[in-house]
Structure 1
Amino acid sequence: MRKVVSRDGTTIAYRSAGEGPPIILMNGAFRDHTIFDSLVPELAPHCTTYVYDRRGRGESGDAPAYAVEREIEDLAALIEEAGGEAVVFAGSTGANLALEAAMAGVPITRLALHEPYFRTGGHPKPPADCMEVLRGLLEDGRRGETAEYWLSELLGLTPEVLVEWRRGPLWATNEENAHTLVYDTTILGDFDVPTERLARLRVPALVVYSENTGDWLRDAARATARALPNGWGMGLPGSWHRVQTDVLGRVLAGFALG
């Protein structure tokens, strides 16, 4: 992978493919750039597609202390590498980070979001002490339990689904990246849609959600789209917290090309 140096000196690893206007793909909790392995071939014929490992994951570096501002600077460094401005697509907690970056003035020309993580419409928020619990589990070296806690208490997976996740091929990555769950939880803040701040964001924004996703994820996507002056929501075929890749690729390519 290639490397770009962020403002604080942290190296951020990335790959690019294709030709055309640049689009940067940003992952959510647990994952690294490989989560987009099936989406890149859909976009590369139309766009120069960038994927990267967010700090603390994969081949990217990290810093002793975490701050959302550092991740915003990571994205800004990659956009500079891509030519100075870019379309950004981000999912889940990565969508929250992309919104923060756009509101901070990072040169994002268009913003596409998949089911940003907010709790709205009466859906219950995670436990008030969730950050302390996460840090305590990590300090004790209980990375698997950290991942389980986040998935159950913040994402809402049932015990039965958690058993399936533990048996799945990605569980080792979940444990490896468990320390970054504190990062993503920091990004989420109070879990509310920041309607007043989003009202000042003029970037064209598309917020997509799966037609078969969870109620709170769909409601969060719709609330985000409503809060953005130049935003609109779109339901697409898919399953829980996942949109069908070929459909998503076509929609993103059309959105990026404007």
Structure 2
Amino acid sequence: MRKVVSRDGTTIAYEKAGEGPPIVLLNGGFRDHTIFDSLVPELAPHCTTYVYDRRGRGQSGDSPEYAVEREIEDLTAVIGEAGGQAVVFAGSSGANLALEAVIAGAPITKLALHEPYFRIEGYPQPPADFLERLKDLLARDRRGEAAEYFLAELVGFAPETIEQWRGTPLWATNEANAHTLPYDTAICGDFKVPVERLADVRTPALVVSSDGTSDWLSAAARATAQALPNGWGMQLPGSWHRVETDILGRVLTGFAHTR
């Protein structure tokens, strides 16, 4: 992988592929750049893609003290490698990070979001002490339990669904990246759509959700699109928290090329 040094000296690993307008792909909780392995081939004939490992994951470095601002600087560093401006596609809690980056003035020309992690009023909310309990589990090196706690209390998975996830090859990655779950929790803040802070964002923004996802994720996507002055929503075929890759690739290609 290629490397770029973020503002605080942390090394961020990324991969570049394709030709055309630059688009940076930003992942959410648990995952690293490999989550986009099936999407990059859909985009690469039409766009120059940049996928990277967020700090603390994969081949990227980390710092002793975490701050959302450092992750915004990481994203900005990757955009710098893309020429100084880029379209950004971000999913899940990565979408929350991308919104924070836009608010902070990151050089994002267009923003595509997939199901940001907000909890709309009327849907179950995370426990008030969620972050403290998550950090306690990690401090005691109970990484598997921390991953389970995140999935149960923040994602809303039933015990049987978590048990199914534990039986998949991805579970090892979940545990390996469990120490970054407080990062994603911090990015989500109070889990409310920051309507007032988004009111001044003029960046064109597409917010997509899948027709097979959870009601609360659909509601969050709609609320986010409504809060963005130049935002609009789109529902696409898919399953829980996932859009069919070929369709998503066509939508993002069109979005990146539209003037």
* Same-fold call, TM cutoff 0.5: yes
**Contact 1:210–1:238, Cα closer than 8 Å, also in 2:** yes
**TM-score normalised per structure 2:** 0.99
- CA–CA separation in structure 2 for the residues paired with 1:126 and 1:5: 35
Partner of 1:133: 133
Contact 1:121-1:219 within 8 A present in 2 as well: no
Question: What corresponds to 1:156 in structure 2?
Answer: 156
Percent identity between the two aligned chains:
76
Q: Which residue of 1 aligns with 2:213?
A: 213
Q: How does 1:1-258 map to 2 (within 5 A)?
A: 1-258=1-258
SS state at 1:58 partner: coil
Question: What RMSD, in angstroms, separates the aligned Cα atoms of the two structures?
Answer: 0.5
What is the CA–CA distance in structure 1 between the aligned matches of 2:110 and 2:122, rounded to whole Å? 30
Residues of 2 paired with 1:90 and 1:136: CA distance?
29
CA distance in 2, matches of 1:209, 1:237: 9
CA distance, structure 2, for counterparts of residue 228 and residue 78 of structure 1? 24
Q: Which amino acid aligns with 1:167?
A: G
TM-score normalised to structure 1 length = 0.99
The one-letter code matched in structure 1 to 2:230 is N
Partner AA of 1:252 in structure 2: L
SS in 1 for 2:88: strand
In the TM superposition, residue 119 of structure 1 has moved relative to its aligned partner by 0.5
Partners of 1:134 and 1:113 in 2: how far apart? 26
Q: Which amino acid aligns with 2:66?
A: Y
User: 2: CA distance between counterparts of 1:164 and 1:26?
Assistant: 26
| Partner-residue secondary structure (3-state), 2:127 | coil
1:228 shift after superposition: 0.3
Secondary structure at the residue paired with 2:146?
A: helix
SS at match of 2:235: strand
Asked if the contact 1:29–1:93 (Cα under 8 Å) also holds between the matched residues in 2, the reply is yes
Q: Which consecutive aligned stretches of 4+ in structure 1 deviate over 6 angstroms post-superposition?
A: none
Q: Structure 1 residue 212: deviation in Å?
A: 1.1
In structure 1, give the amino acid aligned to 2:26.
Answer: M
Q: Matched residue of 1:247: which SS?
A: helix
Aligned residues: 258
Amino acid at match of 1:114: H
Contact 1:23–1:89 (CA under 8 A) maintained in structure 2: yes
In 1: Cα distance, 2:138 partner to 2:121 partner: 32
C-alpha displacement of 1:24 = 0.2
- Letter of the 1:65 counterpart: E
Q: Structure 2 unaligned runs (5+)? A: none
The one-letter amino acid paired with 2:150 is: W
In structure 1, distance between residues paired with 2:125 and 2:16: 37
TM-superposition CA deviations, 1:182-231 (whole Å, max 9, x none): 00000011010000111110000000000110000000000000000000
**Kept in 2: contact 1:19–1:46 (CA 8 A):** yes
Question: How many angstroms apart in 2 are the aligned matches of 1:121 and 1:132?
Answer: 23
Deviations along 1:130-154, one digit per CA (max 9) or x if unpaired, are 0110110001110000000000000
TM-superposed deviation, 1:124 = 1.8
Shift of 1:121: 3.5
Structure 1: unaligned runs, 5 residues or longer: none
